[in-house]
Amino acid sequence: MKQTLIVLVENKPGVLNRISSLFRRRNYNIESLVVGHSETPGISRMTIVANEPDQSKRGNIYFNLLKLVNVIAVKDVSKLPCISREFIMVKINTGPDQFNEVNAVAKQFGARIVDMGAETVIIEVTDKESVINNLVSALQPFEITEIVRTGKIAMRRGKTHKVSSDKINAKPGEITWKPDQISSYQN
């Protein structure tokens, strides 16, 4: 089963290394990892997807992330109502004679052509993983030369629960924040 985690971290050097090292040390595989700025200056938001079938190991991933320095909050949204998306750009070697066919496939999946040269076409789309997989399959008859794809990003539906911490923008040595003492993993 895939586990989707939303992790809020301090935007500081070494945080991504700590998280990836945690997964490496525990022998968990990261299926996708997307990191970007959040709505709060100094905080980055990560969406991590791990493919771990064992329930207790999923709980271990959750608790181990909470213990890491620079991690502010962790939420497992695997079974919660979320909107999730991926982004892809696909470059195809094609001439003007196939443009109409490529355009028809792109429109069928809600994609758009963002670059059209004499020999190549670049298509982009943002959608669910299944739609993106189907688009790639539909483009296989053409000569795909490059694919750039993000991992999954997710956002819970409903009210936003703000996370506050005196750890944000603190200088080393001034950090007094500790994660909530959570004693059970509910997922």
How many domains, in total, are found in the chain?
A: 2
Q: Are 77 and 156 in contact (CB under 8 A)?
A: yes
More confident residue, 164 or 76: 76
State the residue range of the domain holding 24.
2-81
pLDDT value, residue 96:
82
Alpha-carbon gap, residue 187 to 84, rounded angstroms: 18
Is this structure's pTM higher than 0.75?
yes
**What's the CA dihedral at 77, 78, 81, 87 to 10 degrees?**
90
At residue 175, does pLDDT exceed 80?
no
Instruction: Output DSSP code: residue 41.
Output: T
95 CB burial (10 A radius; 0-12, 13-18, 19+) = exposed
Count of alpha carbons within 13 Å of 137, Cβ hemisphere only? 6
Alpha-carbon gap, residue 40 to 116, rounded angstroms: 38
pLDDT value, residue 166:
52
Per residue in 2-46, pLDDT tens? 899 999 999 999 999 999 999 999 999 999 999 999 888 889 999
Domain contains 104: yes
Residues 8, 76: one domain?
A: yes
More confident residue, 177 or 81: 81
Q: Which CATH number characterizes residue 121's domain?
A: 3.30.70.1150
Residues 15, 66: one domain?
A: yes
pLDDT value, residue 176:
37
For 132, phi then psi, to 5°, come to -65, -40
- Reported as a pLDDT band with limits 50, 70 and 90, residue 53 is confident
- Provide, rounded to the nearest whole percent, the portion of the chain with pLDDT above 70: 86
